[in-house]
Amino acid sequence: MAVIIRRVEFFLITLWAAVTINFILPRMMPGNPAEAMMAHFQGRLNPAALHALEVAFGVNTKETIWQQYVQYLGDIVHFKFGISLSNFPVPVMHVVMQALPWTLTLAGVTTVISFLLGTLIGMIAAWRRGGIADNLMPPVFVIISALPYFWLGLICIYVFAVTLHWLPSGFGYDEGGNINLSWTFIHQAITHAILPALTIIVTSIGGWILTMRNNMIGTLSEDYVRMARAKGLHPMRIMIQYAGRNAILPNITGFAMALGFVVSGLLLTEIVFTYPGVGYLFLQAVAAEDYPLMQALFLFVTIAVLAAVLLADVANALLDPRIRAR
């Protein structure tokens, strides 16, 4: 119980802090969205448009910063995020909702795959200490994890899309495709996700392998594993139920955090692959000083991370009875 209260407390404090930082940051940036829009059109707009834009965006508002803050908090509580300036006059929610499923799916699937695969490899490497898997996999993937993933993406596009024509180089689905739940669409979505997913998985798996291996080596020397051997249990059971399950516990929170982070961390991948997710929206929002969009995105990502962490706590409690008791 206390754990949950402490978690909720943390959740609220962090949320408030993030929301506030979120409010302050864009306002500290110089310039204003109207000028950003003018700059975006690279001189193609009539100079008179600046005035129109300022009126439309409400740039020269007379409200004090405190009034704005209170207004802002109120809006957030009611889930009102206003209109995206860089996508004027489309509401922020619409812009975000259009992009969110893509990112969530890609991020979710890749992170889960990378975590599961990494954990499995780490587990086996530690179990067969000094074996081929142990001598090869961890160092190789640790090195790969040092690759800049966006660069890897560029190279992948060049090799697999441009040169070999095996896979599409970008977008979430084929040109002219319709978004629905048909097999054609799902097939398209998968084909288009292969390259971005691959770059993420390959560069993130090393961390999981290493931490799992290290944890597992720790648990393997625990007395309860020796005890399991003494009991004459099947080796698979010892590896999974005794060593593995205890070794995975410290990784769960990390996994949740990673799950939350990729939502924003996909940014470079999405740019490189023209993937229709929220990552790119961030960059766009910042470039256009689109406060409402930026704020909404920040909020969503923070909530995503926090929610993931909360979920991890639940998962931890399910897997680790000691936490449940506290």
Partner 1 sequence: MAYQPIAIQEPAPSPATPAPATGRAAWAAGFVRIGAALSSNRKAVAGVLILLFFTVVAIFAPLIAPYSPSAEAFAPGMPPSSAHWLGTTSYGQDIFSQLVWGTRQTLLIGLIGGLAATALSVFVGVTSAYLGGMPDHVLSVITDIFLVLPALPLMIVIAAYEKGGGFWVLVGVIVITGWSFGARQLRPQAQSLRNRDFLESARVRGETSAHIIVFEVLPNMVSLIVAIFLGAALYAILAAAGLQFLGLGNPEDQSWGTMLFWGQNQEALMIGSPLWIIAPGACIAALGAAVALINYGVDEISNPALRGRKRKKKVYVVPNP
Partner 2 sequence: MNEPALRSEPSALTASPVLEARGLTKHFHVGGIFSGKTLHAVDDFDLSIYPGEIVALVGESGSGKSTVARLLAQVYKPTSGEILYRGTPIESLHAREYRRHVQMVFQDPFSSLNPVYRASHGVLRSLKLYSKKPRSQLRQEAARILDLVGLTPSDQFLDKYPYELSGGQRQRYGFAQALACGPDLILADEPVSMLDVSIRLGILNLMADLCRDEGLAFLYITHDIASARYVADRMLVMYAGEVVEDGPTEDVLQHPKHPYTQLLLSAVPDPNAPAEAAFPMEMGEPPRVIDPKPGSRFCPRCPYAIPICSQETPRLRLVRPNHRVACHVAQAEEAIAEAVAQSRE
Partner 3 sequence: MVRAVDGVNIDVQPGEFLGLVGESGCGKSTLLFAIGRLLSEPAEIVSGDVLFKGTNLVYLKEKQLRHLRWRGFSVVMQSAMNALNPVLTVGAQMADAIEAHERMPKAAMKRRSAELLQMVGIDPIHLSSYPHQLSGGMRQRAMIAMALVFTPDLIMMDEPTSALDVVAQRSLMREIKTLQEELHFATIFVTHDMALVRQYADRLAIMYAGQIVEHASTNEIFDDPKHPYTRGLLHAYPSLFGPKEELTGIPGRPPDLRTPPTGCRFHPRCPYVMEICPKEDVPLYSPRGDDLVRCFLFSNEVMTNERASAPL
Burial 248-275 (b: 16+ CB within 10 A, else e): bbbbbbebbebbbbbbbbbbbbbbbbeb
Residue pair 244/319 in contact by the 8 Å Cβ criterion: no
Q: What residue has token string 């975000």? A: 96
The answer to whether 298 contacts partner 1 (rule: CB under 8 A) is yes
| CB neighbour list of residue 54: distance below 8 Å, 6 or more residues apart | 32, 34, 60
Question: Could you tell me the CA-to-CA distances from 270 to 182, 266, 304, 315 in Å, in that order?
Answer: 24, 6, 18, 30
Angle between helices 291-319 and 245-265 (to 10 degrees): 170
Could you give the string, one character per residue 198-227, with x where binding to partner 3 holds by CB under 8 A and - elsewhere? ----------------------xxxxx-xx
| Beta carbons within 8 Å of 106's beta carbon, 6+ residues apart | 193, 196, 197, 200, 266, 275, 277
Residue 176 CA to residue 222 CA, distance in Å, equals 58
Write down the least CB distance from residue 6 to partner 2, Å.
Answer: 5
| CB atoms closer than 10 angstroms to residue 159 | 13
Among positions 93-132, residues that touch partner 3 (CB under 8 A) are 129
Please report how close the Cβ of residue 214 comes to partner 1 at its closest, in angstroms.
Answer: 6
At 83 the three-state DSSP class reads strand
Q: Match 């609220």 to its residue by tokens.
A: 12
Residues of this chain, 222-261, that bind partner 1 according to CB under 8 A: 257, 260-261
The site map against partner 2 for 1-30 (x = CB under 8 A) is: -xx-xx--x---------------------
| Partner interacting with residue 228 (select from partner 1, partner 3, partner 2, none; CB below 5-8 Å by kind) | partner 3
Within a 13 Å sphere around the CA of 286, how many CA atoms are in the beta-carbon half? 10
| 63 is an interface residue for partner 2 by CB under 8 A | no
Residues 229, 236, 283, 287: which binds partner 3 (CB under 8 A)? 229
Does 324 bind partner 2 (CB under 8 A)? Our answer is: no
Would you say 238 and 220 are in contact if contact means Cβ atoms under 8 Å apart?
Answer: no
- CB of residue 208 to partner 3, shortest distance in Å: 20
Cβ nearer to partner 2, comparing 10 with 171: 10
Q: Which does 155 bind (CB under 5 to 8 A by kind): partner 1, partner 2, partner 3, none?
A: partner 1
> Applying CB under 8 A, what is the total number of residues that bind partner 1?
56
Q: Does 232 bind partner 3 (CB under 8 A)?
A: yes
The SS3 of residue 312 is: helix
23, 26, 238, 293: residue in contact with partner 1 (rule CB under 8 A) = 26
Which tokens go with 307?
A: 């929610």
Q: Token pair 């190279």 is at which residue?
A: 155
Bridge partners for 83 per DSSP: 91
Task: Output DSSP code: residue 117.
Answer: H
The reply to whether 142 sits near partner 3 by the rule CB under 8 A is no
Minimal distance in Å, beta carbon 2 to partner 2? 3
> Which residues form the interface with partner 3 (CB under 8 A)?
129, 220-224, 226-234, 237, 241-242, 245-246, 249, 319-322, 325
> Which residues form the interface with partner 1 (CB under 8 A)?
10, 13-14, 17-18, 21, 25-26, 28-30, 129-130, 138-139, 142-143, 145-148, 150-152, 154-155, 157-158, 162, 206, 210, 214, 217-218, 221, 257, 260-261, 263-265, 267-268, 271, 282-283, 286-287, 294, 297-298, 301-302, 305-306, 309
